[in-house]
Amino acid sequence: MAKNLVIVESPAKAKTIEKILGNDFEVKSCFGHIRDLEKDDMGIDIPNNFKPKYIVPEDKEKVVKDLKKLAKETDEVWLATDEDREGEAISWHLCEVLGLDPVNTKRIVFHEITKSAIEKAVRQPRLLDMNMVHAQQARRILDRIVGFELSPVLWRKMSMRNSLSAGRVQSVAVRLIVEREREINAFNSVSTFKVEAWFTGKDISGKNISFKAEGPTKFKTAEDAEKFLQQCVGAAYTVKDIQVKPGKKSPAAPFTTSTLQQEASRKLGYSVSKTMLLAQKLYESGKITYMRTDSVNLSDTALANIQKEINTSFGEKYHQHRKFKNKNESAQEAHEAIRPTYMENHTDDDSDTKRLYDLIWKRTIASQMSDAELEKTIAKIDISTNHEELTASGEVLKFDGFLKVYLESRDEEDVTEEEEDQEGSLPPLTVKQALDLKEMKATERFSRPAPRYTEASLVKKLEELGIGRPSTYAPTITTIQKRNYVEKRDKEGVKREYRILLLKDNQISKNTDSENTGAEKSKLFPTDLGMIVTDFLNQYFDSVMDYGFTAKIEEEFDEIAGGKQVWNKMLNNFYQPFHKAVQDTLENAERVKGERLLGEDKESGKPIVARMGRYGPMIQIGKAEDEEKPRFAKLKATQSIETITMEEAMELFKLPRTLGQFEGSDVVVNIGRFGPYAQHDKQFYSLKKEMDPYTVELDEVGPLIAEKRTAKSERTIKVFEKEKIQILKGPYGPYIKQGLRNFKIPKEKIDTAADLTVEEAKAIIEDVKANPPKKKAPAKKKKA
DNA sequence: CAGTGAGCGAGCTTCCGCTTGACTT
């Protein structure tokens, strides 16, 4: 038995560190937090100065038991959890649970897993920082109070009230999406006219050249643009001036969790959860450093390896030592940046993780490479018939530097229109050179609203606001979608006409062309529920919904950590007004329906409203108290209470439609709980995505019925008619179905499932019934 | 599996931040 027990948070880390420390040390992991607030009664004794009631969650019991045993057997326990607020608290909980005295237990920290860093840490142990622990405790309790007092308010006050939730992080994330959506809906696009001219000529050596130049300004109206083109009729064009300016580009910092999620989204199209899943795999197989980090720091060992790699692969002039600083004040920097563990592994052989690994390798190596050097050329072109001038610009790469391996992509909203017209190189020109105008065009361009958030751009925004942590970005994005506040989907663009004025051969002609606009892919849209909940929370709990709330309380947590404020006093200052708002809201707020009056029914004169019903957004014609029952129709998935028009609403009442007869019985189309479907002979058939229930025709439904029939026969391996037992092929392999129940076939019989006899199948069913498979343990309710 | 829409109210839900597997009809 080793003399020393070192406890870290991550098991992968434990393995690595054990190798470094040698035989006297046994390194174990506690798998993150080992205690949490009890759920009953919020787990907080509020009148008793917010005294927390901690328990060991069921899934951590084994970990705690094992650590207790080891702690007893060893001479000395070293607490080596991460050096941040949460890590300090985990160490304190370990003391509490393992019966260690915080005043003489050794606490060590390191920010990188290297031999020198770990050996240095062991030489300089410190003690637990109780102020830091109290800061974490205040954070934990505040989040519990906000979540567990606000959520029940929603259950009482929303017309749709199944498993709604609110919290310091998630509710603000939804707010961002809701406000962006409204910004887009309220956006009024204005158009301007942009002038471009294409020239031809000859360079000094007599070679033919051609290039593009841009007009003096964007014209506000077609008339202004035409006037300008008119002035250019018959003009001569000469190069008036050429300016050459050097420029440079620098590489981006190495990856943090949030920047990795953003780049993987932009370059590879991964969702944030997919990125984290793949990164976790790479981490567990020892290929990259820890993937949940807010640090851009690289260890000295890593820097040396990167330099070596650059020198051998690209040459010394490509290397430039850089130290990146974190822009984010809320960063706690308990780890390194995300980088390959071994730079000499240029790629990964696993096809699943390869693309992400390549991205991390390139980003890491580029971060220590030289600037790219550019030469920007701007040529002014004189127009003989007026005082305006045209501008041609070009960019030439003189030295590629880091661009040899990697260039960071940008978000849609950060790219300006000028950058969109990508600059190529300009042919060599000379001052006073005469040019021939091939054609000049004034094209109508429309201003665009801010784009909707992607998962990754939302993470970026949250990080900027200091809301959430690397370990919670992905789960938060999942939560707000699971709660149906937000949905990720595509939006089809609409066709829009734009005008073009063309000057060619001294003639001006007018034309229109069309473009697709407003198309979006994998963007976050708020649902009606998300909007209604956000409006409600904004109205009654504006302080928690404020974008600066987290930043403000983080300052206070820092004061607690610095010993300048007492944790339970801070909590009390927050709690008094907050709790009062909760009570006022419960007493006074009306139940929220999100109702919007669309107009009157032409035939009956009854009011038509869009509102939230118990089962989702809908249109209602007439009132509940009318003699005649109101008519109802559910909104389509892409429609919203806020934007639906009267016309679109009336369209919804056209279902159900009877299309005609097939094999002697009616085919009826409707939209149900699981989307559009056709009903025929008591069977249901889901309509294909591209089939619109409002316009679909009979001859399109026939193939659907046939398809389902063959799919069913293909899925069937064997049928025992009399016993009502079927052997079917499912997504997880063959299984047995009797009546409505499914039964798992034991592993050893999976391969020969087709040969099962009715007796064998029966035996399996009896077996499963006798030993039902363990279900996911539902949260155990404790009885006093 | 393809309904519903009023009101009352059992009995349920819920937070954020640390960490990984177990397991799927």
pLDDT tens readout for residues A306-352: 999 999 999 999 999 999 999 888 888 889 999 999 999 999 988 88
Beta strands in A564-674 (DSSP E): 596-600, 607-613, 616-621, 631-634, 657-662, 665-672
pLDDT at A352: 84
The token pair at A266 is: 């932009």
The token pair at A437 is: 């105008």
Same domain, A510 and A384: yes
> Which of A2, A418, A62 is closest to A214 using CA atoms?
A418
Q: Does some domain include residue A89?
A: yes
The β-bridge partners of A439 are: A198
The structural domain count of chain A equals 5
Burial class (CB in 10 A: 0-12, 13-18, 19+), A329: exposed
Same domain, A177 and A67: no
Residue nearest to nucleotide B23 (CA to C1'): A776
pLDDT at A62: 96
Residue nearest to nucleotide B24 (CA to C1'): A732
Same domain, A401 and A346: no
Task: Give the position of tokens 């961002």.
Answer: A176
Alpha-carbon torsion A758, A764, A767, A769, what sign?
Answer: negative
Calpha distance A56→A547 (Å, rounded): 33
**Through-space separation of residue A242 CA and nucleotide B9 C1' in angstroms:** 81
Last residue of a domain, one of A588, A617, A632: A588
Residue nearest to nucleotide B18 (CA to C1'): A32
**Through-space separation of residue A33 CA and nucleotide B19 C1' in angstroms:** 7
pLDDT at A772: 63
pLDDT at A54: 97
Instruction: Give the domain CATH number at A345.
Output: 1.10.290.10
Which nucleotide is closest, CA of A471 to its C1'? B17
The token pair at A398 is: 């003189």
**Through-space separation of residue A151 CA and nucleotide B20 C1' in angstroms:** 28
Which nucleotides in chain B lie closer than 7 A to a protein CB?
1-6, 12-21, 23-25
Calpha distance A358→A345 (Å, rounded): 10
Residue nearest to nucleotide B22 (CA to C1'): A776
**Through-space separation of residue A575 CA and nucleotide B12 C1' in angstroms:** 26
Range of the domain at A433: 191-250+373-447+495-520
Which nucleotide is closest, CA of A730 to its C1'? B25
Task: Give the position of tokens 């002035």.
Answer: A231
Same domain, A399 and A510: yes
Burial of A392-404, coded b for 16+ CB within 10 Å and e otherwise, reads: bbbeeeeeebbbb
Residue nearest to nucleotide B6 (CA to C1'): A624
Which nucleotide is closest, CA of A60 to its C1'? B19
Alpha-carbon torsion A574, A577, A583, A587, what sign?
Answer: negative
Last residue of a domain, one of A608, A624, A654: A654
**Through-space separation of residue A773 CA and nucleotide B23 C1' in angstroms:** 11
| DSSP assignment of A87-143 | HHHHHHHHHHHHT--TTTSEE---SS--HHHHHHHHHS-B---HHHHHHHHHHHHHH
Q: Does some domain include residue A183?
A: yes
Instruction: Give the domain CATH number at A91.
Output: 3.40.50.140
**Through-space separation of residue A104 CA and nucleotide B21 C1' in angstroms:** 34
**Through-space separation of residue A550 CA and nucleotide B9 C1' in angstroms:** 37
Same domain, A281 and A326: yes
Q: Does some domain include residue A779?
A: no
Residue nearest to nucleotide B9 (CA to C1'): A156
DSSP class of residue A452?
P
Same domain, A72 and A25: yes
Residue A77 phi, psi dihedral angles, 5° rounding: -105, 130
Calpha distance A763→A481 (Å, rounded): 43
Q: Does some domain include residue A121?
A: yes
The β-bridge partners of A420 are: none
Which nucleotide is closest, CA of A462 to its C1'? B16
| DSSP assignment of A724-742 | TEEEEEETTEEEEEETTEE
pLDDT at A161: 66
**Through-space separation of residue A117 CA and nucleotide B2 C1' in angstroms:** 62
**Through-space separation of residue A532 CA and nucleotide B6 C1' in angstroms:** 22
pLDDT at A418: 62
Q: Does some domain include residue A728?
A: no
Which sequence positions of A are flagged as catalytic? Answer: 290
**Through-space separation of residue A419 CA and nucleotide B4 C1' in angstroms:** 53
Instruction: Give the domain CATH number at A148.
Output: 1.10.460.10
**Through-space separation of residue A674 CA and nucleotide B5 C1' in angstroms:** 18
Which nucleotide is closest, CA of A41 to its C1'? B14
Q: Does some domain include residue A771?
A: no
Same domain, A400 and A332: no
Which nucleotide is closest, CA of A729 to its C1'? B25
Which nucleotide is closest, CA of A35 to its C1'? B18
The token pair at A254 is: 């190495």
Last residue of a domain, one of A573, A588, A603: A588
Instruction: Give the domain CATH number at A414.
Output: 2.70.20.10
Same domain, A115 and A18: yes
Q: Does some domain include residue A68?
A: yes
Q: Does some domain include residue A343?
A: yes
Residue nearest to nucleotide B2 (CA to C1'): A672
Same domain, A159 and A266: no
Same domain, A506 and A630: no
pLDDT lower than 50: segments of chain A:
775-784
pTM of the prediction? Answer: 0.87
Residue nearest to nucleotide B4 (CA to C1'): A615
Same domain, A358 and A385: no
Residue nearest to nucleotide B16 (CA to C1'): A143
Which nucleotide is closest, CA of A745 to its C1'? B25
Same domain, A277 and A203: no
The token pair at A494 is: 């609409």
pLDDT at A776: 41
pLDDT at A657: 87
Question: Which residue type sits at A724?
Answer: K
Calpha distance A167→A130 (Å, rounded): 27
Which nucleotide is closest, CA of A468 to its C1'? B16
**Through-space separation of residue A165 CA and nucleotide B24 C1' in angstroms:** 26
